[in-house]
Amino acid sequence: MPRSYESFTKEAYQKNVIAYSCIQLIATSCAGIPWILYDAKGDEVEEHPVLELLENPNPRQGQAAFMEALSAYKLLSGNSFLLAGNNSDSLPGELWLLRPDRVTVIPGVNSMPAAYRYKYPGVNGSAPVEITYPVDQLTGKSPVLHIKSFHPYNDWYGMSPVEAAANGVDSHNEAEKMYLALLQNGARPSGALTMSGTLTDEQFTRLKRDIDEQYSGASNAGRPMLLEAGLDWKQFSLSPDQMKWIEGKDTSARDIARAFRVPPMLLGIPGDNTYSNYQVARLALYEDTILPEMDSLKSALNAWLLPLFGEDEESLYLDYDKDSIDALAPKREAIWDRIDKTTFLTVNEKREAIGYAMGILFSYRRRISLWS
């Protein structure tokens, strides 16, 4: 497939069930994790405009839909672009997602973009609209936040997992086409009509028309063929290479899942015994894929969104709630059990340690993590 956002979307997300399932699984999992705001002492802030903004980013999307689309854009293109719209107090009042293929990064100096140019087609035949959002070359402040994946040879755009999985997506799609063609031919291999003599042009045309109308397609599968005198049907058998297409299809599916860092077991792909059970595979998905995605988003929002409200790392810190993730419950229980069995800690020290493990008590500059 061509390496472009349009082809990735059509070939991977719209036509390939494995890539679609990977993107949806990651995006919806990220979207379901709540956000929490802490002050410099590590205490939770219950009410703040930034929490209201994340809960209701814009009139068209709630938090879950917004975060799902944000993650899906990044997985498809390697890039997500957020636009902050100011209210009457010049504070962010809305958050919008810009479609990645409509955004152009204007290169600047010292690896700092000069601006972001957003171009979208006009409505009802009107001319296309183009808007440029500048970037402060000293502070890096901009109404647009660009979250991108690592790209080894592009300074301005991220690399999509579909890029690495492109060959697997193409192979899997071709295998699906082969399977569909086999079904349309009655789930039987093709064959040939033979005869000792020759047919006239009129006989050949009539015979071809009868085959197309009466014996082709899934609705005519298994219908007995009536042959005129002298005609004989020779059925072809499947070659060994053709019979291995199912095995090749599953191999392509596993390659796609690996590119997205999704355990194949969660997608129902046969032949994968890497994880002992579904629960372990789900834990691996969160630890290897979901949490790193959330960490990346958390860092970006703290560096971009809070300063727009006049906040900084010394006053407030935005984090996501690990305690709400059911898949991590076995690991939390193991941590609690290990701390409870220690004999050199007092009851209060154990309570404090569990608090750190649950992510309740921490500050931005000094956080103790017991998740690894």
pLDDT of residue 109: 83
pLDDT at 222: 52
The tokens for 334 are 């193991």
pTM recorded for the entire structure:
0.77
Cβ-proximal residues to 44 (8 Å cutoff; 6+ apart), any chain: 36, 37, 38, 360
User: What pLDDT was estimated at residue 287?
Assistant: 92
> How high is the pLDDT of residue 372?
41
The C-alpha torsion from 25 through 28 and 30 to 32, rounded to 10°, is -130
What letters, b where the CB count within 10 A reaches 16 and e where it falls short, cover 317-348?
bbbbebeebebbeebbeebbeebeeeeeeeee
CA 113, distance to chain mean position in Å, is 26
**Strands, E assignment, 122-253:** 129-134, 144-148, 191-194, 232-235
Tell me, what's the pLDDT at 238?
56
pLDDT score at 210: 72
In the chain, which residues have pLDDT < 50? Answer: 218, 357-372
> According to the model, what pLDDT value does residue 37 have?
94
d(CA 52, CA 309): 12
pLDDT of 366: 37
The tokens 């010292």 sit on which residue?
Answer: 110
The answer for residues whose C-beta is within 8 angstroms of residue 282's C-beta and 6 or more apart is 263, 266, 327
